[in-house]
Amino acid sequence: MNQQIEINNTRTISDEDVLFIALELGEHILRCGGEINRAEDTITRICRAYGAKHVDVTAILSMIVLTVHFNDSRSTCTRRITSSTATNLDKLSKINELSRSICAELPDKKTVEAKMAEISRTSIITKKRLIFGSILAALGFALFFSDFSQGITASLMLRVLLDSVLSGVLAIPLCLISVRMDKHRLNPMVSKFAVCFLSGISALVLGRLIPLCNPNIIMIGNIMNFIPGVAVTNAFRDLFGGDIMSGLFRLCSVIIDAIIIAAGYAVAILLFGGAV
Amino acid sequence: MKTEILRISIVLVAGILGSIGFALVFGVGKKHFIAAIISSVISCLAFEIVYLLCDSLFTASFVGAGLSAAYSDIMSQKAKTPATLFIIIGIIPLVPGAKLYYTMLGIVRDDVALFSQNGEAALLIAAGIAVGIITVTAVSKPIKAKISEINAKNHKAKE
Protein backbone atom coordinates (compact mmCIF):
# COMPACT_ATOMS: atom_id res chain seq x y z
CA MET A 1 0.00 0.00 0.00
CA ASN A 2 2.74 2.41 0.91
CA GLN A 3 5.07 1.48 -1.87
CA GLN A 4 6.59 4.54 -3.52
CA ILE A 5 6.36 4.96 -7.28
CA GLU A 6 9.09 6.93 -8.93
CA ILE A 7 7.83 9.44 -11.46
CA ASN A 8 10.22 11.01 -13.94
CA ASN A 9 13.08 10.31 -11.50
CA THR A 10 12.28 13.56 -9.70
CA ARG A 11 9.08 13.02 -7.75
CA THR A 12 7.71 10.18 -5.67
CA ILE A 13 4.11 9.41 -4.92
CA SER A 14 2.66 6.50 -2.95
CA ASP A 15 0.13 4.02 -4.34
CA GLU A 16 -2.33 5.34 -1.77
CA ASP A 17 -1.95 8.89 -3.11
CA VAL A 18 -2.53 7.76 -6.70
CA LEU A 19 -5.77 6.11 -5.63
CA PHE A 20 -6.74 9.20 -3.65
CA ILE A 21 -6.17 11.54 -6.61
CA ALA A 22 -8.08 9.30 -9.02
CA LEU A 23 -11.01 8.81 -6.63
CA GLU A 24 -11.15 12.51 -5.75
CA LEU A 25 -11.57 13.48 -9.40
CA GLY A 26 -14.00 10.63 -10.09
CA GLU A 27 -16.15 11.62 -7.13
CA HIS A 28 -16.30 15.27 -8.18
CA ILE A 29 -17.20 14.33 -11.77
CA LEU A 30 -20.18 12.31 -10.50
CA ARG A 31 -21.22 14.98 -8.03
CA CYS A 32 -21.33 17.81 -10.54
CA GLY A 33 -23.36 16.01 -13.21
CA GLY A 34 -20.89 13.88 -15.19
CA GLU A 35 -21.68 10.44 -16.57
CA ILE A 36 -20.48 7.22 -14.96
CA ASN A 37 -18.44 6.43 -18.06
CA ARG A 38 -16.52 9.70 -17.77
CA ALA A 39 -15.73 9.14 -14.08
CA GLU A 40 -14.48 5.60 -14.73
CA ASP A 41 -12.49 6.71 -17.77
CA THR A 42 -10.85 9.59 -15.88
CA ILE A 43 -9.91 7.31 -12.97
CA THR A 44 -8.41 4.72 -15.35
CA ARG A 45 -6.40 7.32 -17.27
CA ILE A 46 -4.98 8.90 -14.11
CA CYS A 47 -3.96 5.54 -12.62
CA ARG A 48 -2.34 4.45 -15.92
CA ALA A 49 -0.48 7.77 -16.17
CA TYR A 50 1.02 7.13 -12.71
CA GLY A 51 2.28 3.76 -13.84
CA ALA A 52 -0.54 1.32 -13.07
CA LYS A 53 -0.33 -1.93 -15.01
CA HIS A 54 -4.01 -2.78 -14.67
CA VAL A 55 -6.98 -0.77 -13.43
CA ASP A 56 -10.36 -2.17 -12.34
CA VAL A 57 -12.91 0.49 -11.60
CA THR A 58 -16.64 0.27 -11.00
CA ALA A 59 -18.67 3.35 -10.27
CA ILE A 60 -22.30 3.85 -9.38
CA LEU A 61 -23.82 7.15 -8.27
CA SER A 62 -23.20 6.51 -4.58
CA MET A 63 -19.93 4.57 -4.69
CA ILE A 64 -16.66 4.01 -6.54
CA VAL A 65 -14.67 0.80 -6.12
CA LEU A 66 -11.14 0.93 -7.49
CA THR A 67 -8.44 -1.76 -7.67
CA VAL A 68 -5.11 -0.79 -9.17
CA HIS A 69 -2.29 -3.21 -9.98
CA PHE A 70 1.13 -1.61 -9.91
CA ASN A 71 4.41 -3.39 -10.73
CA ASP A 72 4.44 -5.76 -7.78
CA SER A 73 1.58 -4.64 -5.59
CA ARG A 74 -2.16 -4.30 -5.66
CA SER A 75 -4.25 -1.59 -3.96
CA THR A 76 -8.01 -1.47 -3.54
CA CYS A 77 -10.01 1.46 -2.30
CA THR A 78 -13.72 2.21 -1.96
CA ARG A 79 -15.13 5.71 -1.96
CA ARG A 80 -18.65 6.25 -0.66
CA ILE A 81 -20.29 9.30 -2.24
CA THR A 82 -22.67 10.49 0.45
CA SER A 83 -24.07 13.81 -0.69
CA SER A 84 -24.92 14.88 -4.19
CA THR A 85 -24.44 18.50 -5.17
CA ALA A 86 -26.22 20.49 -7.82
CA THR A 87 -25.20 20.19 -11.47
CA ASN A 88 -22.15 22.38 -12.09
CA LEU A 89 -21.04 22.14 -15.70
CA ASP A 90 -18.25 24.70 -15.30
CA LYS A 91 -16.72 22.63 -12.50
CA LEU A 92 -17.12 19.50 -14.62
CA SER A 93 -15.24 21.19 -17.46
CA LYS A 94 -12.48 22.38 -15.09
CA ILE A 95 -12.10 18.90 -13.55
CA ASN A 96 -11.80 17.50 -17.06
CA GLU A 97 -8.98 20.00 -17.79
CA LEU A 98 -7.34 19.13 -14.47
CA SER A 99 -7.41 15.41 -15.25
CA ARG A 100 -5.66 16.10 -18.56
CA SER A 101 -2.98 18.14 -16.81
CA ILE A 102 -2.58 15.46 -14.12
CA CYS A 103 -1.95 12.82 -16.80
CA ALA A 104 0.61 15.09 -18.47
CA GLU A 105 2.43 16.50 -15.43
CA LEU A 106 1.90 13.78 -12.76
CA PRO A 107 1.72 16.15 -9.78
CA ASP A 108 1.77 15.07 -6.11
CA LYS A 109 -1.27 14.78 -3.84
CA LYS A 110 -0.85 18.24 -2.27
CA THR A 111 -0.76 19.97 -5.66
CA VAL A 112 -3.92 18.16 -6.79
CA GLU A 113 -5.67 18.99 -3.53
CA ALA A 114 -4.75 22.66 -3.92
CA LYS A 115 -6.02 22.70 -7.51
CA MET A 116 -9.28 20.96 -6.50
CA ALA A 117 -9.77 23.48 -3.69
CA GLU A 118 -9.22 26.31 -6.15
CA ILE A 119 -11.80 24.84 -8.57
CA SER A 120 -14.36 24.57 -5.73
CA ARG A 121 -13.55 28.09 -4.48
CA THR A 122 -13.93 29.73 -7.88
CA SER A 123 -17.36 28.22 -8.65
CA ILE A 124 -19.23 30.56 -10.97
CA ILE A 125 -22.66 29.53 -9.61
CA THR A 126 -23.64 32.39 -7.32
CA LYS A 127 -27.02 33.17 -5.75
CA LYS A 128 -27.51 36.08 -8.19
CA ARG A 129 -26.74 33.84 -11.14
CA LEU A 130 -29.17 31.19 -9.87
CA ILE A 131 -31.98 33.72 -9.42
CA PHE A 132 -31.39 35.37 -12.81
CA GLY A 133 -31.17 31.97 -14.49
CA SER A 134 -34.39 30.78 -12.83
CA ILE A 135 -36.23 33.94 -13.92
CA LEU A 136 -35.08 33.52 -17.52
CA ALA A 137 -35.88 29.79 -17.56
CA ALA A 138 -39.40 30.27 -16.12
CA LEU A 139 -40.11 33.26 -18.38
CA GLY A 140 -38.72 31.60 -21.48
CA PHE A 141 -40.48 28.28 -21.02
CA ALA A 142 -43.82 29.89 -20.09
CA LEU A 143 -43.65 31.64 -23.47
CA PHE A 144 -42.32 28.46 -25.13
CA PHE A 145 -45.23 26.29 -23.96
CA SER A 146 -47.98 28.87 -24.61
CA ASP A 147 -50.76 27.77 -26.92
CA PHE A 148 -50.56 29.49 -30.31
CA SER A 149 -52.86 27.01 -32.08
CA GLN A 150 -55.74 29.52 -32.35
CA GLY A 151 -53.57 31.97 -34.32
CA ILE A 152 -51.35 34.79 -33.13
CA THR A 153 -53.18 37.99 -32.31
CA ALA A 154 -52.08 41.10 -30.42
CA SER A 155 -54.39 40.34 -27.48
CA LEU A 156 -53.12 36.73 -27.27
CA MET A 157 -49.51 37.92 -27.32
CA LEU A 158 -50.30 40.37 -24.52
CA ARG A 159 -51.80 37.60 -22.39
CA VAL A 160 -48.94 35.24 -23.18
CA LEU A 161 -46.37 37.89 -22.26
CA LEU A 162 -48.24 38.61 -19.01
CA ASP A 163 -48.16 34.88 -18.12
CA SER A 164 -44.44 34.69 -18.94
CA VAL A 165 -43.55 37.75 -16.86
CA LEU A 166 -45.62 36.48 -13.92
CA SER A 167 -43.93 33.08 -14.22
CA GLY A 168 -40.51 34.76 -14.21
CA VAL A 169 -41.40 36.92 -11.19
CA LEU A 170 -42.71 33.88 -9.29
CA ALA A 171 -39.39 32.11 -9.94
CA ILE A 172 -37.56 34.62 -7.67
CA PRO A 173 -39.13 33.64 -4.30
CA LEU A 174 -39.19 29.97 -5.33
CA CYS A 175 -35.48 30.04 -6.11
CA LEU A 176 -34.69 31.82 -2.82
CA ILE A 177 -36.77 29.32 -0.82
CA SER A 178 -35.12 26.42 -2.65
CA VAL A 179 -31.61 27.79 -1.93
CA ARG A 180 -32.51 28.35 1.75
CA MET A 181 -33.88 24.80 2.07
CA ASP A 182 -30.73 23.35 0.48
CA LYS A 183 -28.62 25.41 2.90
CA HIS A 184 -30.46 23.93 5.88
CA ARG A 185 -29.98 20.43 4.39
CA LEU A 186 -33.68 19.70 4.44
CA ASN A 187 -34.68 16.34 2.97
CA PRO A 188 -34.47 16.96 -0.81
CA MET A 189 -37.79 15.19 -1.44
CA VAL A 190 -39.59 17.27 1.18
CA SER A 191 -38.06 20.53 -0.05
CA LYS A 192 -38.93 19.72 -3.68
CA PHE A 193 -42.52 18.90 -2.71
CA ALA A 194 -42.79 22.10 -0.63
CA VAL A 195 -41.41 24.34 -3.39
CA CYS A 196 -43.69 22.78 -6.03
CA PHE A 197 -46.68 23.10 -3.70
CA LEU A 198 -45.85 26.78 -3.07
CA SER A 199 -45.36 27.32 -6.81
CA GLY A 200 -48.80 25.81 -7.50
CA ILE A 201 -50.56 27.77 -4.77
CA SER A 202 -48.92 31.07 -5.86
CA ALA A 203 -49.84 30.53 -9.53
CA LEU A 204 -53.44 29.68 -8.62
CA VAL A 205 -53.73 32.76 -6.35
CA LEU A 206 -52.32 34.90 -9.17
CA GLY A 207 -54.93 33.35 -11.50
CA ARG A 208 -57.70 34.42 -9.09
CA LEU A 209 -56.29 37.92 -8.58
CA ILE A 210 -55.53 38.62 -12.25
CA PRO A 211 -58.29 36.99 -14.34
CA LEU A 212 -56.40 37.73 -17.59
CA CYS A 213 -53.55 35.37 -16.74
CA ASN A 214 -53.43 31.60 -17.25
CA PRO A 215 -52.21 29.80 -14.09
CA ASN A 216 -51.45 26.65 -16.14
CA ILE A 217 -48.76 28.47 -18.12
CA ILE A 218 -47.35 30.15 -14.99
CA MET A 219 -47.01 26.72 -13.37
CA ILE A 220 -45.52 25.11 -16.50
CA GLY A 221 -42.85 27.84 -16.69
CA ASN A 222 -41.83 27.13 -13.10
CA ILE A 223 -42.12 23.33 -13.41
CA MET A 224 -39.27 23.45 -15.93
CA ASN A 225 -36.98 24.69 -13.13
CA PHE A 226 -37.64 21.51 -11.14
CA ILE A 227 -37.82 18.85 -13.86
CA PRO A 228 -34.68 16.69 -13.61
CA GLY A 229 -33.62 17.14 -17.25
CA VAL A 230 -29.94 16.48 -16.52
CA ALA A 231 -30.71 13.26 -14.65
CA VAL A 232 -32.96 12.01 -17.48
CA THR A 233 -30.28 12.68 -20.10
CA ASN A 234 -27.56 11.03 -17.99
CA ALA A 235 -29.84 8.10 -17.11
CA PHE A 236 -30.33 7.23 -20.77
CA ARG A 237 -26.66 7.83 -21.60
CA ASP A 238 -25.60 5.55 -18.72
CA LEU A 239 -28.26 2.94 -19.43
CA PHE A 240 -27.42 2.53 -23.09
CA GLY A 241 -23.71 3.13 -22.58
CA GLY A 242 -23.55 -0.18 -20.71
CA ASP A 243 -23.87 1.11 -17.12
CA ILE A 244 -27.22 -0.56 -16.52
CA MET A 245 -27.10 -0.30 -12.73
CA SER A 246 -26.32 3.42 -12.66
CA GLY A 247 -28.79 4.11 -15.48
CA LEU A 248 -31.58 2.34 -13.59
CA PHE A 249 -30.54 4.10 -10.38
CA ARG A 250 -30.81 7.50 -12.08
CA LEU A 251 -34.05 6.54 -13.83
CA CYS A 252 -35.64 5.49 -10.51
CA SER A 253 -34.55 8.76 -8.94
CA VAL A 254 -36.01 10.68 -11.93
CA ILE A 255 -39.35 8.86 -11.63
CA ILE A 256 -39.50 9.55 -7.88
CA ASP A 257 -38.62 13.22 -8.53
CA ALA A 258 -41.34 13.48 -11.19
CA ILE A 259 -43.93 11.95 -8.83
CA ILE A 260 -42.96 14.39 -6.06
CA ILE A 261 -43.13 17.39 -8.42
CA ALA A 262 -46.52 16.24 -9.74
CA ALA A 263 -47.76 15.61 -6.17
CA GLY A 264 -46.72 19.14 -5.08
CA TYR A 265 -48.68 20.76 -7.90
CA ALA A 266 -51.57 18.26 -7.65
CA VAL A 267 -52.13 18.97 -3.93
CA ALA A 268 -52.14 22.73 -4.66
CA ILE A 269 -54.70 22.28 -7.47
CA LEU A 270 -56.85 19.95 -5.33
CA LEU A 271 -56.89 22.57 -2.56
CA PHE A 272 -58.40 24.96 -5.10
CA GLY A 273 -61.10 22.41 -5.93
CA GLY A 274 -59.36 21.06 -9.03
CA ALA A 275 -60.18 24.19 -11.02
CA VAL A 276 -57.37 25.96 -12.85
CA MET B 1 -47.46 29.57 -43.49
CA LYS B 2 -46.73 33.10 -42.25
CA THR B 3 -48.41 32.28 -38.94
CA GLU B 4 -46.30 29.12 -38.64
CA ILE B 5 -43.08 31.04 -39.30
CA LEU B 6 -44.12 33.64 -36.71
CA ARG B 7 -44.98 30.87 -34.21
CA ILE B 8 -41.66 29.10 -34.77
CA SER B 9 -39.81 32.42 -34.36
CA ILE B 10 -41.57 33.10 -31.03
CA VAL B 11 -40.91 29.53 -29.84
CA LEU B 12 -37.25 29.80 -30.89
CA VAL B 13 -36.74 33.08 -29.02
CA ALA B 14 -38.51 31.61 -25.98
CA GLY B 15 -36.39 28.44 -26.20
CA ILE B 16 -33.20 30.51 -26.36
CA LEU B 17 -34.26 32.56 -23.31
CA GLY B 18 -35.07 29.38 -21.38
CA SER B 19 -31.81 27.74 -22.40
CA ILE B 20 -29.81 30.82 -21.34
CA GLY B 21 -31.58 30.53 -17.98
CA PHE B 22 -30.61 26.88 -17.62
CA ALA B 23 -27.05 27.55 -18.80
CA LEU B 24 -26.78 30.10 -15.97
CA VAL B 25 -28.32 27.75 -13.39
CA PHE B 26 -26.11 24.80 -14.42
CA GLY B 27 -22.99 26.95 -14.45
CA VAL B 28 -21.92 26.86 -18.09
CA GLY B 29 -18.78 29.00 -18.27
CA LYS B 30 -18.28 31.99 -20.58
CA LYS B 31 -15.96 29.97 -22.80
CA HIS B 32 -18.67 27.48 -23.83
CA PHE B 33 -21.80 29.56 -23.28
CA ILE B 34 -22.61 30.46 -26.90
CA ALA B 35 -21.78 26.96 -28.16
CA ALA B 36 -24.17 25.48 -25.55
CA ILE B 37 -26.98 27.86 -26.58
CA ILE B 38 -26.41 26.97 -30.26
CA SER B 39 -26.98 23.33 -29.28
CA SER B 40 -30.43 24.24 -27.94
CA VAL B 41 -31.19 26.35 -31.05
CA ILE B 42 -30.37 23.31 -33.23
CA SER B 43 -32.62 20.96 -31.26
CA CYS B 44 -35.47 23.46 -31.01
CA LEU B 45 -35.39 24.42 -34.70
CA ALA B 46 -35.03 20.81 -35.86
CA PHE B 47 -37.95 19.72 -33.65
CA GLU B 48 -40.25 22.48 -34.95
CA ILE B 49 -39.38 21.97 -38.63
CA VAL B 50 -39.64 18.16 -38.53
CA TYR B 51 -42.90 18.33 -36.57
CA LEU B 52 -44.30 20.76 -39.13
CA LEU B 53 -43.29 18.43 -41.99
CA CYS B 54 -44.26 15.00 -40.63
CA ASP B 55 -46.54 15.70 -37.64
CA SER B 56 -44.80 13.07 -35.50
CA LEU B 57 -43.64 13.93 -31.98
CA PHE B 58 -41.30 10.92 -31.83
CA THR B 59 -39.56 11.71 -35.14
CA ALA B 60 -39.31 15.43 -34.31
CA SER B 61 -37.75 14.84 -30.89
CA PHE B 62 -35.52 12.06 -32.30
CA VAL B 63 -34.12 14.38 -35.01
CA GLY B 64 -33.85 17.33 -32.59
CA ALA B 65 -32.02 15.33 -29.92
CA GLY B 66 -29.88 13.48 -32.49
CA LEU B 67 -28.69 16.66 -34.21
CA SER B 68 -28.04 18.35 -30.89
CA ALA B 69 -26.08 15.30 -29.63
CA ALA B 70 -24.03 15.16 -32.86
CA TYR B 71 -23.22 18.88 -32.58
CA SER B 72 -22.33 18.37 -28.89
CA ASP B 73 -19.96 15.53 -29.74
CA ILE B 74 -18.20 17.62 -32.40
CA MET B 75 -17.97 20.63 -30.08
CA SER B 76 -16.66 18.51 -27.20
CA GLN B 77 -13.83 17.27 -29.45
CA LYS B 78 -13.02 20.80 -30.60
CA ALA B 79 -13.23 22.43 -27.17
CA LYS B 80 -11.77 19.39 -25.35
CA THR B 81 -14.55 19.48 -22.80
CA PRO B 82 -17.28 16.95 -21.85
CA ALA B 83 -20.13 16.66 -24.38
CA THR B 84 -22.55 16.65 -21.41
CA LEU B 85 -22.08 20.41 -21.19
CA PHE B 86 -23.62 20.93 -24.65
CA ILE B 87 -26.09 18.01 -24.68
CA ILE B 88 -27.83 18.98 -21.44
CA ILE B 89 -28.47 22.56 -22.56
CA GLY B 90 -29.40 21.32 -26.05
CA ILE B 91 -32.00 18.86 -24.79
CA ILE B 92 -33.72 21.31 -22.41
CA PRO B 93 -36.16 22.79 -25.01
CA LEU B 94 -37.27 19.26 -25.95
CA VAL B 95 -38.18 18.24 -22.39
CA PRO B 96 -41.98 17.82 -22.45
CA GLY B 97 -42.70 19.99 -19.39
CA ALA B 98 -46.17 21.09 -20.57
CA LYS B 99 -47.21 17.55 -21.54
CA LEU B 100 -46.15 16.23 -18.12
CA TYR B 101 -48.08 19.03 -16.41
CA TYR B 102 -51.28 18.31 -18.37
CA THR B 103 -50.85 14.56 -17.68
CA MET B 104 -50.79 15.37 -13.96
CA LEU B 105 -53.80 17.71 -14.42
CA GLY B 106 -55.64 14.87 -16.16
CA ILE B 107 -55.14 12.66 -13.08
CA VAL B 108 -56.21 15.43 -10.69
CA ARG B 109 -59.35 16.24 -12.70
CA ASP B 110 -60.10 12.58 -13.42
CA ASP B 111 -60.02 13.52 -17.12
CA VAL B 112 -58.95 10.33 -18.93
CA ALA B 113 -58.65 12.00 -22.35
CA LEU B 114 -56.40 14.81 -21.04
CA PHE B 115 -54.26 12.27 -19.14
CA SER B 116 -53.89 9.76 -21.97
CA GLN B 117 -53.28 12.28 -24.79
CA ASN B 118 -50.60 14.20 -22.90
CA GLY B 119 -49.11 11.14 -21.21
CA GLU B 120 -48.67 9.44 -24.57
CA ALA B 121 -47.18 12.58 -26.11
CA ALA B 122 -44.75 13.00 -23.18
CA LEU B 123 -43.64 9.37 -23.48
CA LEU B 124 -43.18 9.67 -27.25
CA ILE B 125 -41.05 12.81 -26.86
CA ALA B 126 -38.99 11.23 -24.04
CA ALA B 127 -38.45 8.10 -26.15
CA GLY B 128 -37.47 10.23 -29.17
CA ILE B 129 -34.91 12.15 -27.09
CA ALA B 130 -33.47 8.93 -25.64
CA VAL B 131 -33.22 7.15 -29.02
CA GLY B 132 -31.73 10.28 -30.65
CA ILE B 133 -28.96 10.56 -28.04
CA ILE B 134 -28.28 6.81 -27.99
CA THR B 135 -28.07 6.58 -31.80
CA VAL B 136 -25.52 9.40 -31.99
CA THR B 137 -23.52 8.01 -29.05
CA ALA B 138 -23.49 4.53 -30.62
CA VAL B 139 -22.33 5.88 -34.00
CA SER B 140 -19.82 8.39 -32.65
CA LYS B 141 -18.00 5.97 -30.30
CA PRO B 142 -16.40 3.78 -33.02
CA ILE B 143 -15.73 6.88 -35.17
CA LYS B 144 -13.91 8.55 -32.27
CA ALA B 145 -11.96 5.34 -31.57
CA LYS B 146 -10.94 5.12 -35.24
CA ILE B 147 -9.86 8.78 -35.32
CA SER B 148 -7.73 8.39 -32.18
CA GLU B 149 -6.24 5.19 -33.63
CA ILE B 150 -5.29 7.04 -36.85
CA ASN B 151 -3.90 9.96 -34.82
CA ALA B 152 -1.80 7.56 -32.71
CA LYS B 153 -0.47 5.87 -35.86
CA ASN B 154 0.42 9.24 -37.42
CA HIS B 155 2.11 10.29 -34.19
CA LYS B 156 4.19 7.09 -34.13
CA ALA B 157 5.10 7.47 -37.80
CA LYS B 158 6.31 11.02 -37.17
CA GLU B 159 8.47 9.84 -34.24
> Does B102 have pLDDT greater than 80?
yes
**What pLDDT score does A174 carry?**
92
- Cα separation, B50 vs A142, whole angstroms: 22
Residue of chain A with shortest Cα separation from B103: A262
Nearest by CB to B27, from A88, A152, A219: name it. Answer: A88
User: Quick one: average pLDDT of B19-40?
Assistant: 93
Tell me which chain B residues have a C-beta less than 8 angstroms from the C-beta of A216: 101-102, 105
Q: Which of B101, B104, B125 is nearest to A142 (CA)?
A: B101
Mean of the per-residue pLDDT values of chain B: 90
- Cα separation, A56 vs B17, whole angstroms: 44
Contact B97 A223 (CB under 8 A): yes
Best mutation site among A38, A95, A144, A218 for testing chain B: the one with the most B CBs within 10 Å?
A144
DSSP A61: T
Query: B95, B77 in Cβ contact below 8 A?
Result: no
**What pLDDT score does A274 carry?**
65
Q: Which segments of chain A have a pLDDT < 50? A: 1-3, 8-11
Contact B82 A93 (CB under 8 A): yes
Nearest by CB to B14, from A33, A34, A140: name it. Answer: A140
Contact B95 A87 (CB under 8 A): no
Q: What is the pTM (predicted TM-score) of this model?
A: 0.87
**What pLDDT score does A83 carry?**
64
Q: Write the burial class of residue A38 (CB in 10 Å: 0-12 exposed, 13-18 middle, 19+ buried).
A: buried
Contact A93 B14 (CB under 8 A): no
